[in-house]
Amino acid sequence: MYATSTRRAVVELLKIERRYLSAAAIFASLKGSQPKLALSTVYRTLEFLQRLGTVSSRTEASGETAYVYCTDDHHHHAICTVCGHVDEVDCDAMEGFRGALLRNQSFALDEHAIEFYGRCARCRS
C-alpha cells in the first residue's frame, strides 16, 4: 500500500510513537536511517498519507502541524497531557448524541471531531 520506503518508514514511526509528531520531528527521527531523506519529502509523504486517511493532523499551540497514525474506522483521540500518548476512542456513543441534538435542538449533525485530554495510565501511576 505504501509504495516507497519513506512512506513505510513514516507510517511505522507514527505507529510506534503513538503521539502527534511534527514533520520536523519525523524528519529528525528518520534522518539517521535514511541519509538522503529531505524534509520536503516528509511533508509530501504526510500530505499523501493524510489523503489516504492513514494519518490525522492537528495544529499545535505553536502553530505547527503535527500528525498521528490512524486506523480506517471513524474514531476520536484520547491525548495524554503529560507524555502526549494518543489512543483511539470509538464513537458508538455519538449516535445517541446525534439523536439528542436533533430532538432537543433540531440540529442535524453532519460531522464531528472530538479530542479528549487527560492522563494516560502510565502518567497517572
Confidence of residue 63 (pLDDT cuts 50, 70, 90): very high
**Total domains present in the chain:** 2
- Final residue belonging to a domain, choices 69, 95, 112: 69
pLDDT of residue 1: 64
The two beta strands, 65-69 and 115-118, are: unpaired
H helices then E strands: how many in the chain? 5, 6
Q: Which residues contact 123 (CB under 8 A, 6 or more apart)?
A: 80, 82, 83, 85
What gap in Å lies between CA 96 and CA 41, rounded to an integer?
Answer: 42
Task: Look at residue 17 in the predicted model and tell me its pLDDT.
Answer: 96
Give the global pTM. 0.81
Q: Write the pLDDT tens digit of every residue in 33-45.
A: 999 999 999 999 9
- Domain assignment of residue 104, given as a range: 75-124
Do residues 12 and 65 share a domain? yes
* End position of a domain, from candidates 51, 69, 87: 69
Grid cell for residue 68: 498521528
26, 43, 69 — which closes off a domain?
A: 69
Shared domain check, 38 and 15? yes
* Residues 44-52, mean pLDDT to the nearest whole number: 95
Q: What is the CATH number of the domain that holds 114?
A: 3.30.1490.190
Q: What confidence tens digit (pLDDT) does each residue in 74-123 have?
A: 888 999 999 999 998 887 778 888 899 999 999 998 988 888 999 999 99
The angle that helices 23-31 and 5-17 make with each other, rounded to 10 degrees, is 110
Do both 13 and 37 map to the same domain?
yes
- Both 10 and 61 in one domain: the answer is yes
- Per-residue pLDDT, 22: 97
- Contact present, 70 and 115 (Cβ < 8 Å): no
